[in-house]
């Protein structure tokens, strides 16, 4: 068992080196904010929300933000790049968020934040504002775990930093490799400040032959532009004297296909087409359109792709486990275009069938 140690309080006033390293990286910030909305943080609600808003205000325009509220369930309240309007929207959501839930599923909030950042580029960080009291709903597998145990058992992909802004008097023991804890207000402006541009290199004065060559090139370019304009004018006058060519017959539009997704019992879970719903996610995730615990943690996303030859169906494995499409195994974070045929998809214990329905006139034209 890994020995757990108490991480010293982390503040940016004393963490100048870390702030400097992050500023030097110069990458686009991708921040997932996880806000504890349980009743236990009500005493620190004003301070917590003010710090959250100060941090959002300090982020540069273009930074990507995702906001999660963690109570008995995990709710995604916001996602997008910050600009004037979206920043004001995010600040309003934080300001109006009620902190009255009886439970707080900190492990679920951390897992959803890590999942949201997994496919994002650049600098990726999770900032959790909490008092460290993990109290998920009865029946949850994280019920009875301490916050330190939640951090240990939650798999966060490499390259994502986890920072805990801890309020209250709790003293959880963290592993420094899993998270850093901050017990006082950070200097958010300094932390999120973009790196200063390097000074321009001195430019030596050009030799006389350089600017003389430049003048010669400009003169040659002007002559070439004048000659090209003259040729185009002559060509346009010649074309105007020619008879108009007969317009070609427009090609028929590609056929439209409707895909029906059903379970092994034949119950339809959704219909996909370019004229209706074109995307659906199925699996064991609170963010899936169709949620099934039989998926055992797996999630797939089906999207209708419109091409010049017709419609195709694209499957993306968004979970952490392989997905079986017929005899093929599709690894996590991989995509596959499905053929126009009856297909069987195995997602954990959940079996799915995709049935394409091509209109009769399209079948005749293909034959």
The pLDDT score that the predictor gives to residue 22 is 44
Between β-strands 123-130 and 160-166, what pairing exists: parallel, antiparallel or unpaired?
parallel
CA 326, 328, 333: angle at the middle one, nearest 5? 115
Quote the tokens at residue 149. 């145990």
pLDDT of residue 142: 82
- Nearest CA to 97 among 186, 146, 33, 180? 33
Under the banding of pLDDT at 50, 70 and 90, the label for residue 89 is: very high
Give the model's confidence band at 19: pLDDT under 50 very low, under 70 low, under 90 confident, else very high: very low
The answer to whether 130 touches 181, Cβ cutoff 8 Å, is: no
CATH class of the domain comprising 16-191:
alpha beta
- Average model confidence (pLDDT) across the chain: 80
Q: Which residue has the higher pLDDT, 324 or 201?
A: 324
**Average pLDDT for 215-227:** 83
**Which residue is it, tokens 């209708």?**
304
For residues 103-108, give the mean pLDDT.
88
What was the pLDDT predicted at 308? 75
Domain with CATH 2.60.200.20 in the chain: 258-366
For residues 322-332, average pLDDT: 89
pLDDT tens digits, 229-277: 777 665 555 555 544 444 445 556 667 888 999 998 888 888 888 888 8
> Candidates 2.60.200.20, 3.30.230.10, 3.30.450.40, 3.30.1340.30; correct CATH number of 258-366?
2.60.200.20
pLDDT at 16 over 50: no
Q: Where in the chain is the domain with CATH 3.40.50.410?
A: 16-191
Cα separation, 182 vs 194, in Å, equals 22
**How far is residue 76's CA from residue 18's CA, in Å, rounded to a whole number?**
29
Mean pLDDT value of segment 28-49:
90
Nearest residue to 78 (alpha-carbon basis) of 62, 92, 60, 58 = 92
**pLDDT-based confidence at 360, cuts 50/70/90?**
low
pLDDT at residue 12 above 50? no
Does position 25 have pLDDT exceeding 60, yes or no? no
Residue with tokens 């659906």: 280
Q: CA torsion, points 36, 39, 42, 47, in degrees to nearest 10?
A: 0
Quick count: other Cβ atoms within 10 Å of Cβ 149?
Answer: 16
């Amino acid at each position: 068992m890994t020995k757990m140690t108490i991480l010293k309080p982390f503040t940016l006033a004393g963490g100048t080196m870390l702030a400097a390293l992050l500023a030097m990286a110069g990458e686009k910030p991708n921040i997932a904010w996880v806000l504890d909305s349980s009743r236990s943080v009500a005493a620190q609600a004003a301070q917590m929300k003010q710090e959250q808003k100060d941090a959002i205000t300090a982020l540069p325009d273009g930074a990507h933000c995702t906001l999660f509220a963690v109570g008995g369930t995990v709710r995604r309240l916001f996602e997008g790049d910050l600009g004037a309007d979206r920043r004001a929207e995010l600040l309003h959501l934080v300001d109006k968020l009620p902190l009255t839930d009886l439970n707080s599923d900190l492990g679920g909030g951390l897992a959803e934040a890590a999942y949201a950042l997994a496919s994002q580029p650049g600098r990726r960080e999770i900032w959790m504002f909490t008092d460290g009291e993990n109290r998920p709903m009865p029946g949850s597998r994280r019920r009875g775990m301490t916050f330190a145990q939640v951090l240990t058992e939650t798999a966060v992909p490499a390259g994502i930093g986890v920072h805990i802004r801890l309020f209250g008097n709790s003293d959880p023991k963290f592993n420094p490799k899993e998270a850093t804890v901050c017990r006082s207000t950070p200097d958010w402006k300094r932390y999120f400040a973009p790196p200063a541009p390097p000074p321009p290199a001195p430019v030596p004065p050009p030799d006389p032959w350089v600017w003389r060559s430049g003048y010669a090139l400009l003169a040659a370019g002007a002559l070439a532009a004048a000659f090209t304009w003259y040729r185009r004018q002559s060509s346009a006058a010649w074309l105007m004297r020619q008879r108009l060519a007969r317009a070609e017959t427009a090609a028929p539009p590609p056929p439209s296909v409707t895909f029906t997704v059903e379970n092994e019992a034949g119950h339809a879970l959704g219909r996909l087409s370019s004229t209706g719903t074109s995307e659906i996610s199925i699996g064991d995730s609170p963010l899936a359109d169709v949620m099934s615990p039989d998926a055992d943690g797996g999630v797939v996303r089906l999207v209708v792709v419109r091409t010049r030859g017709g419609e195709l169906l694209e499957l993306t494995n968004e979970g952490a486990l392989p997905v079986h499409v017929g005899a093929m195994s599709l690894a996590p974070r991989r995509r596959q275009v499905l053929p126009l045929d009856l297909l069987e998809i195995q997602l954990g214990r959940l079996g799915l069938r995709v049935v394409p329905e091509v209109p009769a006139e399209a079948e005749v034209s293909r034959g």
